[in-house]
C-alpha cells in the first residue's frame, strides 16, 4: 500500500524512480556504443596511416636502388607524393575530425557519467528515505498490532463480563418472578386446602364447589406461568452465553386475577 502513490518530493508521479533507472541504463548503452565506434574509427585510421607509411618507406627504398630509376620515377613519385600528401592531408583532416568526434563523445561521456552520478545520488537519497519510512511504518505497524491485540483481549474480556452480567441480571429476574409465582402458588394451595376442608360439610359443599373449581383453575394457570417463565429465562440465558444480543428483556408475565 505504501508504494501505490508517488513518493514526494522524489517522484512527481508513480514510477519516476524506476524510469530514471531505465534512462540510466539506456545512457550507459549509448556510451558503450559510442566508445566502440570511436575505437573502430581510431583503429582503422592507424591502420591506414601505417599502410601509407609502409608504402612511403618502400618507395624511398626503391628510389635508392638506382639513380636512373630515380630520374625515371621522379615525376611519377612527385605525382604519387602529391597524391600521398593529399591523402595524408585528408587522413589528417579525418583524424582531426575523428579526434573532434572523440572529444565530443568524451565530453558527452563525462556529462553522462555526471548525470549518472547525480541520478545515483538521488536514487540513494530516495532509497534511504524509503527505507527510513518503511522502517518507521513497520515500527508503527508493530505498535498498532500490539494495540489491536490488547484491544481485542480487552474486548473479549469485556464481552465475557457483559455476558456474565446479562446472565446475572436474567437470573435475578428469573428468581424474582419465580419467587412471586411460587408465593402465589403457595397462597392458592393454602386457600384450596381451607376451602376443601370447609367443603367437607355437606351443607357447604354445593356453595364452595364453584370457588374450589375457580381456585384450581387459577392454580393450574399460575403453575403453567411458572414453567413458562423458567423456560423462557433459561432460553434467554443460553442465547446470551452463545453470543446473542438484545436478549436482556423481561419475560412477559400474565397477571391472572385471584378468584
pLDDT digits (tens, 9 = 90+) for 18-51: 788 888 899 999 999 999 999 999 888 889 888 9
Greatest alpha-carbon pair distance for the chain in Å reads: 188
| C-alpha dihedral (34, 35, 39, 42), degrees to nearest 10 | 60
- Answer yes or no: are the C-beta atoms of 259 and 215 closer than 8 Å: yes
- Residue 164: predicted pLDDT: 87
Q: What's the confidence (pLDDT) of residue 37?
A: 92
Q: Exposure string (b/e) for 184-200, b if CB count within 10 Å is 16 or more?
A: bbeebeebbeebeeebe
Given pLDDT bands bounded at 50, 70 and 90, which one contains residue 212? confident
What's the angle, vertex CA 246, arms to CA 244 and CA 251, rounded to 5?
Answer: 105
pLDDT band at 66; cut points 50, 70, 90: low
Segment 87-95 mean pLDDT: 86
Average confidence (pLDDT) over 91-111:
88
Name the average pLDDT for the chain: 84
User: Given this model, what pLDDT does residue 224 score?
Assistant: 92
Q: Is the pLDDT score of 10 beyond 80?
A: no
pLDDT band with cut points at 50, 70 and 90 for residue 64 = confident
Residue 6 has pLDDT above 80, yes or no: no
Given a cut of 60, whether residue 202 has pLDDT beyond it is no
Query: Tell me, what's the pLDDT at 88?
Result: 83
Q: State the pLDDT at residue 128.
A: 92
Residue 61 CB neighbours (<10 A): 9
Q: Residue 59: what pLDDT?
A: 78
Tell whether the model's pLDDT for residue 179 goes beyond 90. Answer: yes
Q: For residues 65 and 197, give the distance between their C-alpha atoms in angstroms, rounded to a whole number.
A: 173
Cβ–Cβ under 8 Å, residues 130 and 18: no
Vertex 185: Cα angle to 181 and 189 (nearest 5)? 175
Model-level pTM greater than 0.75? Answer: no
Distance, first Cα to last Cα, the chain: 76
What pLDDT does residue 36 have? 92
Asked if the model's pLDDT at residue 207 lies above 90, the reply is no
Amino acid at each position: 500500500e505504501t508504494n501505490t502513490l508517488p513518493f514526494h518530493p522524489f517522484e512527481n508521479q508513480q514510477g519516476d524512480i524506476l524510469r530514471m533507472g531505465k534512462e540510466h541504463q539506456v545512457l550507459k548503452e549509448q556510451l558503450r556504443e559510442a566508445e566502440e565506434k570511436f575505437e573502430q574509427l581510431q583503429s582503422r585510421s592507424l591502420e591506414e596511416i601505417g599502410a601509407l607509411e609502409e608504402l612511403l618507406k618502400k618507395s624511398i627504398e626503391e628510389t635508392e636502388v638506382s639513380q636512373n630509376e630515380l630520374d625515371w620515377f621522379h615525376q611519377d613519385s612527385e605525382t604519387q607524393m602529391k597524391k600521398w600528401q593529399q591523402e595524408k592531408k585528408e587522413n589528417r583532416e579525418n583524424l582531426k575530425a575523428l579526434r573532434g568526434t572523440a572529444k565530443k563523445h568524451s565530453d558527452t561521456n563525462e556529462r553522462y557519467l555526471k548525470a549518472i552520478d547525480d541520478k545515483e545520488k538521488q536514487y540513494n537519497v530516495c532509497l534511504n528515505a524509503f527505507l527510513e519510512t518503511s522502517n518507521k511504518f513497520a515500527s508503527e505497524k508493530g505498535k498498532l498490532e500490539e494495540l489491536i491485540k490488547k484491544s481485542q483481549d480487552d474486548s473479549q474480556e469485556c464481552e465475557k463480563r457483559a455476558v456474565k452480567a446479562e446472565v446475572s441480571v436474567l437470573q435475578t429476574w428469573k428468581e424474582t418472578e419465580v419467587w412471586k409465582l411460587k408465593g402465589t402458588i403457595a397462597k392458592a394451595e393454602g386457600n384450596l386446602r381451607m376451602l376443601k376442608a370447609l367443603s367437607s360439610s355437606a351443607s357447604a359443599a354445593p356453595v364452595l364447589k364453584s370457588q374450589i373449581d375457580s381456585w384450581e383453575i387459577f392454580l393450574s394457570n399460575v403453575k403453567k406461568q411458572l414453567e413458562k417463565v423458567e423456560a423462557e429465562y433459561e432460553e434467554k440465558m443460553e442465547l446470551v452465553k452463545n453470543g446473542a444480543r438484545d436478549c436482556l428483556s423481561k419475560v412477559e408475565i400474565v397477571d391472572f386475577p385471584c378468584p
